[in-house]
Structure 1
Amino acid sequence: MGPAGGPAAAPGWCDRCGESVAAGPHEACAAARALEPPRWCAHCRRRMKVQVVPAGWSAVCVEHGEIRG
Structure 2
Amino acid sequence: MKLSARNQISGTITAITPGAVNGTVKVDIGGSNVVTAAITEEAIAELALAVGDAVTVVVKASDVLIGK
Higher strand share: 2
Higher helix share: 1
TM-score by length of 2: 0.33
TM-score by length of 1: 0.33
